[in-house]
Amino acid sequence: MIPLSIPKIEGNESKYVLDCLKTGWISSAGSYVNQFEEMIAKYAGAKYGVACMNGTAGLHIAQILSGVTENDHVIAPNITFIATLNAIKYTGATPVLIDVDADDWQMDLDLLENYLQQQTEIKTLNGQSFSFDKSTGKRVRAIMPVHVLGNIGNMGRMLEIAKKYHLDIIEDGAEALGSTYENKHAGTFGKIGVFSFNGNKIISTGGGGVIITDDEDLAKRARHLTTQAKVSAMDYIHDEIGYNYRLVNVLAAIGVAQMESFPETLKAKKSMDAFYRSQLDGVADIKFQKIPKGTDPNCWLFTFTTSRMRELLDYLNKNGVQSRPFWMPMNQLDMFKEDIYITEKDVSASVYQNSISIPSSAGITQEQLETVVKVIKGFYASL
Ligand SMILES: *Cc1c(COP(=O)(O)O)cnc(C)c1O
């Protein structure tokens, strides 16, 4: 089976892990954690990085940093991985789901702007201006853009919208390490950005995440909240409800090694993407995700649409090519069926019905790439 997306572990990973084991620094204190945070922040061009046990934990902390409470709405795209929505729900807040753009599959900014214009009003709370949803009375606190598949939408326009309606931007950059928009790295557009280093992401620590920000106070608070909100180095005194979310040194050690070889990983992803695009362009009704002008994506996971998605999915998995459907849109999941969903044509539903992801590991060989293409072409030839 040619796997969908597996990590490439060919550098100093075992050396650094062994170093942790031999020195006994295996847990949440240790130099690899700090080093990994610094490497990620520096790579993305952010001032601070705070490592967490996974991206979901990072997104949860980001909500708290942004002041999201159970009285708030947080805006999210209707097509994303469940973790985005879970992070919102952990705070008790309620999502407002926005349909996606048919071309780039990111949050549709026209729909976002229409919603804010027509269904919210700006009011003052404790001397600060906020937008409130007119139907629920809840404050709309933040927008969570998700850089789906490592692609990035028009962040310039999103920033303008966020400013006009007094919203924070919390970027779910889980899939977007290495992606830029107008030469600015994913995760650095808003107040806070979060990356994931889960097993299937562009680099992996097994499980892990990093919160990035330019705001020193937010970084300090993120560190505080992820380490049980302990105020004294000696005494067990805590000043708020904290979380045990810190990344451990053994996993950060893997991350440091993964970052050392990241430039090659990124190169491999881009050539994989270019190969698939050149070979599958014009095959049956296959259409690719559109990359907006100004975006340089990391090409994390190759995904395309075809009206024969279900049959193709079945065929590929039976013929040694591991493939997956896209995420079921959030508005179709039981937990979010009652929530506000802003849409005109329910583009999410058709993107979901037609999208398929194919093998995209950084370590995929030329031979494997050619096999994948051959099997896909074989499917259409067999119809
Ligand atoms: C992977 C992912 C997450 C969650 O990251 P974990 O590290 O698995 O917790 C969040 N959002 C998106 C869009 C993801 O793809």
Residue of 150, 6, 144 lying closest to 65 (CA atoms): 144
Q: Are 321 and 280 in contact (CB under 8 A)?
A: no
Does residue 234 carry a pLDDT above 90?
A: yes
pLDDT band of residue 29 (cuts 50, 70, 90) is: confident
Q: With 90 as the cut, is the pLDDT of residue 119 above it?
A: yes
Atom 10 (ligand 1) nearest CA: 83
Give the mutation target among 4, 53, 81, 301 for probing the ligand 1 site: most ligand atoms within 8 A of CB: 81
For residues 171, 173, 179, 181, the Cα torsion angle rounded to the nearest 10 degrees is -10
- And the tokens for 302? 């190759």
User: What global pTM score does this model have?
Assistant: 0.97
Decide if pLDDT at 125 tops 90: no
pLDDT at 30: 87
- Ligand 1 site residues (CB inside 6 A) read 54-56, 80-81, 83-84, 146, 172, 174-175, 196, 198, 209
Give distance in angstroms: CA of 134 to centre of ligand 1.
31
Mean pLDDT of 285-303: 97
- What is the structure's pLDDT at 52? 98
If pLDDT is split at 50, 70 and 90, which confidence band does 240 have?
very high
Q: At what angle do helices 55-65 and 82-90 cross, to 10 degrees?
A: 40
140-165 confidence digits (pLDDT tens):
999 999 999 999 999 999 999 999 99
pLDDT band at 193 (very low <50, low <70, confident <90, very high): very high
CATH of 13-260, one of 3.30.70.1150, 3.90.550.10, 3.40.640.10, 3.90.79.10: 3.40.640.10
Q: Which residues, including other chains, have CB under 8 Å from residue 140's CB and lie 6 or more apart?
A: 72, 73, 74, 75, 96, 116, 120, 130, 131, 132, 133, 165, 167
Q: Report the separation in Å between the CA atom of 330 and the middle of ligand 1, taken as the mean of its atom positions.
A: 15
The mean pLDDT of 208-220, rounded to a whole number, is: 98
Residue 337 confidence (pLDDT)? 97
More confident residue, 317 or 27: 317
Q: 262-381: which CATH topology?
A: Aspartate Aminotransferase, domain 1 (3.90.1150)
Average pLDDT on 239-253 reads 97
Mean pLDDT, range 109-129, rounded to an integer: 96
Which residue's CA is minimally distant from atom 13 of ligand 1? 81
Q: From CA 216, how far away is CA 41, in angstroms rounded?
A: 13
Taking the domains of the chain in order of start, what are their residue ranges? 13-260, 262-381
CA atoms within 13 A on the CB side of 154: 12
Place 27 in a pLDDT band, splitting at 50, 70 and 90: confident
